[in-house]
Structure 1
Amino acid sequence: MSTAIRLHRHDVALGASGLLGGLLLWLLGLHTQGGRPFAAPWVTLVPLTVMAAMELLRRRAPRTALAVGALALIADQLTRGSLATVLMFTDIVYAAVLYGTPAAARRIPVATLLITVAVTIGFLGWFRRPEALLIGVVAGLLSFLPAIAGVSVRNHRTAADAARLAARQTARLAEVDRTQAVVAERARMARELHDMVANHLSAVAIHSTAALSIDDPETSRNALKVIRENSVEGLAEMRRLIGLLREGGEDDAPAAAPTLASLDALVAQANANGASSGLVCTVEDARGPGAGALPTPVELAAYRIVQESLTNALKHAAPGPVVVRLGLAGELLTVEVTSVLGRRPGPTAPGSGAGLVGMRERAALLGGTFHAGAEPSGDEGGSGGGSGSGSGGGGGDRIWRVRAELPVTERTVRE
């Protein structure tokens, strides 16, 4: 297993150029000082070589590079000195702040400032001449200034990294919002398509089966009449849905969404579709004669819940009353549809369960509740009024009840 440390190419370039530059200055006999204890020319190459080696570690081990580099700089002051050694040390200080730990980035500038002040005061007290201040300036240029430069570059890099991270997070959030919006719109379109078309197609399926299975001209004529009416109305609903999806002009503006004011027409159509199955649909509106219009999403959801419940009754309910009840108590609209549960004679239409899911979603989007299930009939026969008294279903029958409670205040509407 290899344990070799991979060096950055920039560090290698800096170390090599510093070493070659120092060698060139040494060959030319250019030194920074004279009269030092180790005056032999070749001794200058020792701290130069050590400092060049530390350049290789400036990024990988900045703390080690700074500590050894500081010792090499002190050793260089005991020789005839090399400008390349000094310049490489300034780069090592800069790199120690830039690539070191956050704690090192905070401490090194403070330490270099204190060293600069101490050197200035020390030499000023030693020489007792104003020119000693220049030594402090040089010390600041060699240590404190590179440290400050490293802090500035590090802060800029940190800010740039934070900005890139924020941009990525914003992009992810935007993508999540877009995906959620697409999913919500697809679910809304699926509910609208199912609720608008399923009622008509269920009637078409049931009556076409009856026309094919019963060899009676009158029955076939009545079935074809119902099939034609539902086909025409289904096409009209499809055109309305296409109008909602099309980005057209005024000529392509979609029709208004259905409201509870259209329930009488919906129930009349359900009676026509379910007459051959023994279904009798009625509406009991307990909201009162002065009930005003509700928010459009609430009216649409209530209408679709009633429509889907009548469709399910047409497909599955036994002969008997189908009662639609509306109630308004405070800020809560109650929609309830009951039908007789049991085996039904004649053709039926298959169900997928998507209707119940759609009704539950409509109620949840408005912050309401939804329940559907079988219950004992109780006094259902009496509550259904005279409309269902002769259509079968005694006190022992079970009923299928769909009940939704929808808040009518604008603040609860989510769709």
Structure 2
Amino acid sequence: MGRVRLSERGQDVAIAVAGLLGGLLLIAVGAYDRRPGWSEWAPVLPLVAMAGLSLVRRRWTVWTVSVGGVLFGVAVYVGSLVPTMLLYTDLLYAAVLYGPARMSRVLQLSGAATTVVLTGLTWRYASLSEALLVAVFCGLIFLSPVWTADLLRRHREVAEAERLRAEQTALLAEMDRRGAVVAERARMARELHDVIANHLSAIAIHATGAQAVARRQVRSADEPLVEALAVIRENSVQGLAEMRRMIGLLREATPEEPYAAPRLVAVDVLLEQAAAAGRSAGLRFGAEQHGEPGELPAPVELAAYRIVQESLTNAVKHAAPGPVRLCIRYGERELEITVESPYRAGEGRAVPGAKAGLVGMGERAQLLGGEFDAGPDGQTWRVRAVLPRTASGERE
């Protein structure tokens, strides 16, 4: 069972009620130092007043400890009651713990002075043993709660300082990390711009020049060479545009030119590009869709788009002549993508970076908590990816 934790207000009420009930019980049984000439219920007044001060001991520390000192003197005069004394020590404790910083010094000086004066008077008019007893009693009442609260307050201040120092250290570490990330993103953007983007620009320029030469030679538009040049130019221009958008994202693109992540609604464009590129290789592309697309989280839609794009690209590179079928199935909890293309062992040719696309597609699916597999099934090469429709990748 867990412990019951009271609020600050609840703690104050509990202390006041406990002190009041304990004092009334002791008065009822006569367990207190009763003074001659006073009613047996005379200590009730300072007891009730002290309990009332306990309810506001956190808010008005100076007033409660001042009025409490007067009530303590009255309580000792009309009849010493232990709960009243304990409530007063709690007021001293609260004044140091919750009051101004100078309260500790003031109460220590006043408590020490009171102890010295009362001890001296007792020694003067009574005996040394009684004076020592008064000194111990005054130390317990006036000084021990002050010292205890002062020690606790110092520990709290040290703990708070350490907490602030830890937060500052964590903040500096986070700033350093963000600075390193920004620097790395800038470096990646420079590399992409200076290397890959320049190569794509060169490909587009050369393809455009080759098309111009073909037009001067009066070549037919449906000639395979002319079609291949058109596909090369279109893909290089599109790749360059996406590369520039990615560079803008790495460089923290401005609101006027945000990075637009591709979406599955543009899958028809991918099919048209793949069909144009694979026509000379005898490939025919088709697609079908099942279920309602609904609203997909951006990470899921981006991963699905890239998997479709890479699968169609691989089909253009490696598939044997025949139909290539894309199937997108929208379920209630999952999105399933299947791409089937003709396959014969030994078909296709190795190119730089072979199989890197399969690894990348598998990583995209795994990061979202999905599944991915690709491989031959008889005379068909099948790529299948199942992505959860939640951004976190957690299945319900």
Scaled by the length of structure 1, the TM-score of the pair is 0.49
Deviation at 1:7, TM superposition (A): 7.3
Deviation at 1:39, TM superposition (A): 1.8
Kindly provide the amino acid, as one letter, of the partner of residue 93 in structure 1.
Answer: L
**Conservation of the 8 A alpha-carbon contact between 2:57 and 2:95:** yes
Separation in 2, partners of 1:162, 1:7: 23
The residue number in structure 1 matching 2:110 is 111
Separation in 2, partners of 1:114, 1:209: 100
**Conservation of the 8 A alpha-carbon contact between 2:35 and 2:77:** no
The residue number in structure 1 matching 2:72 is 73
| 1:178-327 equivalent positions in 2, closer than 5 A | 178-214=177-213, 215-216=215-216
The residue number in structure 2 matching 1:293 is none
1:214-258 CA distance string (max 9 Å, x none): 3356xx99xx8xx99xx9xx9xxx9xxxxxxxxxxxxxxxxxxxx
Separation in 1, partners of 2:143, 2:74: 20
Deviation at 1:191, TM superposition (A): 0.7
**Conservation of the 8 A alpha-carbon contact between 2:51 and 2:87:** yes
Separation in 2, partners of 1:168, 1:129: 56
Separation in 2, partners of 1:28, 1:143: 27
The residue number in structure 2 matching 1:26 is 27
Matched residue SS, 1:102 = coil
1:253-296 CA distance string (max 9 Å, x none): xxxxxxxxxxxxxxxxxxxxxxxxxxxxxxxxxxxxxxxxxxxx
Identify the structure with bigger relative contact order (alpha carbons < 8 Å, sequence gap 6+): 1
Deviation at 1:198, TM superposition (A): 2.7
Deviation at 1:111, TM superposition (A): 2.2
Kindly provide the amino acid, as one letter, of the partner of residue 24 in structure 1.
Answer: L
The residue number in structure 1 matching 2:277 is none
The residue number in structure 1 matching 2:41 is 42
**Conservation of the 8 A alpha-carbon contact between 1:12 and 1:56:** yes
Separation in 1, partners of 2:167, 2:133: 49
Deviation at 1:107, TM superposition (A): 2.1
Separation in 2, partners of 1:7, 1:208: 78
Separation in 2, partners of 1:196, 1:107: 74
Kindly provide the amino acid, as one letter, of the partner of residue 32 in structure 1.
Answer: D
Match status 1:157 vs 2:151: no
**Conservation of the 8 A alpha-carbon contact between 2:19 and 2:87:** yes
Match status 1:12 vs 2:13: yes
Kindly provide the amino acid, as one letter, of the partner of residue 182 in structure 2.
Answer: V
Separation in 2, partners of 1:144, 1:167: 34
The residue number in structure 2 matching 1:63 is 62
**Conservation of the 8 A alpha-carbon contact between 1:7 and 1:56:** no
The residue number in structure 2 matching 1:403 is none
Identity, in percent, stands at 43
| 1:115-134 equivalent positions in 2, closer than 5 A | 115-134=114-133
Q: What residue ranges of structure 2 are gaps of 5+ in the alignment?
A: 1-6, 218-224, 244-396
**Conservation of the 8 A alpha-carbon contact between 1:120 and 1:132:** yes
Root-mean-square deviation (CA), in Å? 2.9
Match status 1:89 vs 2:92: no
Matched residue SS, 1:156 = helix
Matched residue SS, 1:205 = helix
Separation in 2, partners of 1:128, 1:31: 23
Kindly provide the amino acid, as one letter, of the partner of residue 46 in structure 1.
Answer: L
Separation in 2, partners of 1:165, 1:39: 56
1:73-111 CA distance string (max 9 Å, x none): 100111122111011111111111111111113322232
Q: What residue ranges of structure 1 are gaps of 5+ in the alignment?
A: 1-5, 239-415
| 1:386-405 equivalent positions in 2, closer than 5 A | none
Separation in 1, partners of 2:55, 2:172: 42
Separation in 1, partners of 2:158, 2:8: 26
Separation in 2, partners of 1:114, 1:80: 23
The residue number in structure 2 matching 1:275 is none
Deviates more, 1:60-69 or 1:164-173: 164-173
Q: How many residues align?
A: 221
Kindly provide the amino acid, as one letter, of the partner of residue 171 in structure 2.
Answer: R
Matched residue SS, 2:205 = helix
Kindly provide the amino acid, as one letter, of the partner of residue 35 in structure 2.
Answer: G
Separation in 1, partners of 2:182, 2:33: 73
Scaled by the length of structure 2, the TM-score of the pair is 0.51
Match status 1:171 vs 2:170: yes
The residue number in structure 2 matching 1:378 is none
Q: Relative to structure 1, is the Cα distance of residues 70 and 26 closer, same or farther in structure 2, using a 3 angstrom cutoff?
A: same
Kindly provide the amino acid, as one letter, of the partner of residue 33 in structure 2.
Answer: T
Matched residue SS, 2:33 = coil
Kindly provide the amino acid, as one letter, of the partner of residue 75 in structure 2.
Answer: D
Separation in 2, partners of 1:202, 1:47: 93
**Conservation of the 8 A alpha-carbon contact between 2:122 and 2:130:** no
